[in-house]
Amino acid sequence: MREHAFAYALLAPALLLFLAFTVFPIGFGFYISLHNWRLGPREFLGLGNYLRALTPGSEFWPSLGATLTYSLLAVPFQISIALTLAYLLFQKIRGKSLFRVVMFLPWVTSTVATAAVWARLYSPDIGLINSVLRGLELRPLRWLLEDKGVFTLIANGLGVTLPDWLRGPSLAMVAVVIYTTWVFVGYNMTLFLAGLGNIPGEMYEAAKIDGANGWQLFRHITWPLLSPTTFFVVLITVIGTLKAFNHIWVMTQGDNGTQTASILIYRQFYEFQRAGYASALAFLLSAVILLVTILQNRAAAERVNY
């Protein structure tokens, strides 16, 4: 009994901090979500805010769609490019330390600053990207100002009209994804490099003696033994993309098909001063992230080799 008391006493500071700064805010946030809350509770709505968000036609569904689109676009790009770069930089090449630093730099630079610079690059009139396109005698694009789907734009360029359901993500969304990839590839690459470093060299040597070629080495040694790292990188990237906010806000403020759930929550909270509704949206987004994470865990259980 005395031992238990001593253990609890030692745990108490951490528990108190956890209760004060994690559990209480979550609980209070949920309490707010049950009210019409404008600078304080005005009316108890029960699950009214949740029902409002989940009603067909509410702004939550398109924002969730934009969030999932962003995630589905960004994650494969980020992971595949990061893995490729990590694999290349893991080889014995000159100047690889410099490459690693260069690739990592976007991640350590202020997101707001880099997003603002990229927004300038994407400017339809004076942006560098369109200047290059003009130099190549290609049609300049509206980038962050374009809400038309990329497939629609491509089809229009070819003189074909696509049905609306085939429009694809907006060009603004694709532009944001390109920026996101630029920022996060270096970070993911570093994680992959750490994972590659943990694969025993003997396994490669043994495989080479057995006549394995480069692709076979990657397919049968690197890929399976890198799976715990891959799983971790995918997990944090998916969660990160589902709650992404800063750079999207700086680049588009949620316009042109980029109003993700986080942007919607922010706007409902700060622009509309609907703290209750915004809190309900935040809990719904958390539930979606939790669900996606559970599904990922289940899927990974059969595929990750520890």
Partner 1 sequence: MIRKLIPFVAAVAVLMAACAAPAAQAPAPTEAPAPTKAPAPTEAPAPTQAPAPTEAPAPTQAPAPTAEPSTGVDAITLSKDNPTEILFWHRYSGSAQQFVEQFVEKFNAENAFGIKVTVEKIDGSYADLYSKINAAIEGGTPPNIAQAYQNQASFYRLDGNVIDLAPFITSKKYGLTQAEIDDYFAFFLESDKNPQFPGEVLGWPTSRSAAVLYVNLDWLKELGAEAPPKTLAELEELACKASDPANERYGLAWQNDISNFAALVFANGGRVLSEDAKSYVFNSEAGVEALSLLKRLFENKCAVEIPSAERNGEQTRFAAQKVLFTMSSSTGLRFYADAVAKSDKPFRFTYVMFPQKDPAKPVVDIYGASWSVFKSTPEKELASWLFLKAFTEPDNIAGWANASSYMAVRKSAAPKAIEAVKADERFKDFPEAAEAYARLYDMVAYGAVEAPVAGYDPVRKLMSEVVTAVAIKGEGDVKEALDKAVAEANAVLKENAPSGY
Q: Is residue 30 part of the contact set for partner 1 (CB under 8 A)? A: yes
Enter the tokens of residue 113. Answer: 């600053």
* Contact (CB, 8 A) for 170 and 150: yes
Q: Decide whether 65 or 140 has the Cβ nearer to partner 1.
A: 140
Q: Is residue 299 part of the contact set for partner 1 (CB under 8 A)? A: no
Q: Is residue 40 part of the contact set for partner 1 (CB under 8 A)? A: yes
Q: What angle do helix axes 227-242 and 60-89 make, rounded to 10 degrees?
A: 150
Q: Kindly tell me which residue out of 7, 16, 27, 206 binds partner 1, with binding defined by CB under 8 A.
A: 27
Q: Which stretch binds partner 1 (CB under 8 A): 16-24, 48-56, 197-205, 217-225?
A: 16-24
Q: Is residue 139 part of the contact set for partner 1 (CB under 8 A)? A: no
* Contact (CB, 8 A) for 268 and 113: no
Q: Is residue 92 part of the contact set for partner 1 (CB under 8 A)? A: no
Of residues 131, 118, 120, the one with CA closest to residue 181: 118
* Contact (CB, 8 A) for 49 and 277: yes
Q: Is residue 126 part of the contact set for partner 1 (CB under 8 A)? A: yes
Q: How far is the CB of 237 from partner 1 (least distance, A)?
A: 21
Residues between 222 and 281 with contacts to partner 1, criterion CB under 8 A: 250-253, 255, 267, 270-273
Backbone dihedral region of 182: left (phi > 0), alpha (psi from -120 to 50 degrees) or beta? Answer: alpha
Query: Which position has the token pair 């528990």?
Result: 15
Q: List C-alpha distances in Å: 30 to 103, 249, 268.
A: 40, 25, 16
DSSP single-letter state for residue 257: T
Q: How far is the CB of 251 from partner 1 (least distance, A)?
A: 6
Enter the tokens of residue 226. Answer: 């890198």
How far apart are the C-alpha atoms of 261 and 70, rounded to whole Å?
A: 11
Q: How far is the CB of 138 from partner 1 (least distance, A)?
A: 15
How many binding residues for partner 1 (CB under 8 A)?
Answer: 35
112 CB-side CA count, 13 A: 0
Q: Which stretch binds partner 1 (CB under 8 A): 19-27, 68-76, 79-87, 205-213?
A: 19-27
Q: How far is the CB of 143 from partner 1 (least distance, A)?
A: 9
Q: Is residue 8 part of the contact set for partner 1 (CB under 8 A)? A: no
Enter the tokens of residue 195. Answer: 């994972």
Q: Decide whether 10 or 294 has the Cβ nearer to partner 1.
A: 294
Q: How far is the CB of 126 from partner 1 (least distance, A)?
A: 7
Residue type, position 267, single letter: R
Q: Decide whether 106 or 186 has the Cβ nearer to partner 1.
A: 106
Is 108 exposed, middle or buried (CB count within 10 Å of its CB: 0-12, 13-18, 19+)? exposed
Q: Kindly tell me which residue out of 6, 8, 24, 61 binds partner 1, with binding defined by CB under 8 A.
A: 24
Q: Kindly tell me which residue out of 119, 141, 150, 263 binds partner 1, with binding defined by CB under 8 A.
A: 119
* Contact (CB, 8 A) for 185 and 85: yes
Q: Is residue 28 part of the contact set for partner 1 (CB under 8 A)? A: yes
Q: Is residue 41 part of the contact set for partner 1 (CB under 8 A)? A: yes
Q: Is residue 125 part of the contact set for partner 1 (CB under 8 A)? A: yes
For residue 68, the tally of other CB atoms under 10 A from its CB is: 16
Q: Is residue 57 part of the contact set for partner 1 (CB under 8 A)? A: no
Residues that bind partner 1 (CB under 8 A): 19, 23-24, 26-28, 30-31, 38-41, 116, 119-120, 123-126, 144-145, 147, 250-253, 255, 267, 270-273, 294, 297-298
